[in-house]
């Protein structure tokens, strides 16, 4: 298991750099991770991140974009605006979760 240091905090990450210990994540960490992506978090981001955390905690899986979009009633277009280019992976990263396993 690798570790890396972000804003002075040591966290466990997988080979790609996704966090592997959900407990090492908190909202400050989310701000640090999003800053690495050049994303400034506003309430729309937080709503998504909180859903990802809660859904992962209950299902053990990182939700796919479709699941986020249908569960929160957030249009797909907005997900692409909030987490540009690779929304599913970026929102999982900022939420401190593994990348989604599902295809759709």
Partner 1 sequence: MTTTDTTPTTTATTPTMPDFGAPTTDRTLAIICSKGSLDMAYPGLILANAALGEGATVHLFFTFWGFDMINKRTMADLKFTPVGNPATHLPTAISGMPGMTAMATHQMRKTIAELDIPEVPEFLEQIVDSGGHLWACRMSADMQHLSADDLYDGVEDIISASDFIEKTDGAQLLFI
| CB 16, min distance to partner 1, A | 5
Give the residues lining the site for partner 1 (CB under 8 A). Answer: 2-6, 10, 13, 16-18, 33, 36-38, 64-67, 69, 75-77, 80, 84-90, 93, 99, 102-104
Structure tokens at 64: 């796919």
Number of other CB atoms surrounding residue 96 within 10 Å: 24
Count of beta carbons in the 10 Å neighbourhood of residue 52? 22
* Token code pair at residue 21: 């210990």
Residue among 37 and 41 whose Cβ is closer to partner 1 = 37
Q: Is 21 a catalytic residue?
A: no
Query: Which residues are bridge partners to 2 per DSSP?
Result: 13
Least distance from partner 1 to the Cβ atom of residue 86, Å: 5
Structure tokens at 93: 């990263």
> What's the closest the beta carbon of residue 50 comes to partner 1, in angstroms?
20
Task: State which H helix or E strand residue 43 sits in.
Answer: helix 43-59
Q: Which is nearer to partner 1, 62 or 69 (CB)?
A: 69
Report the catalytic residues: 103
């Amino acid at each position: 298991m690798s570790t890396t240091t972000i804003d002075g905090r040591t966290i466990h990450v997988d080979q790609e750099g996704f966090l592997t210990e959900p407990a090492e994540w908190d909202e400050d960490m989310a701000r640090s991770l999003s800053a690495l992506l050049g994303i400034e978090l506003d309430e729309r981001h937080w709503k998504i991140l909180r859903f990802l955390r809660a859904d992962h905690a209950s299902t053990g899986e990182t939700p796919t974009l479709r699941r986020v979009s249908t569960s929160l009633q957030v249009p797909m277009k907005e997900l692409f605006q909030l987490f540009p280019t690779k929304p599913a992976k970026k929102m999982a990263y900022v939420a401190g979760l593994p990348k989604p396993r599902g295809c759709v």
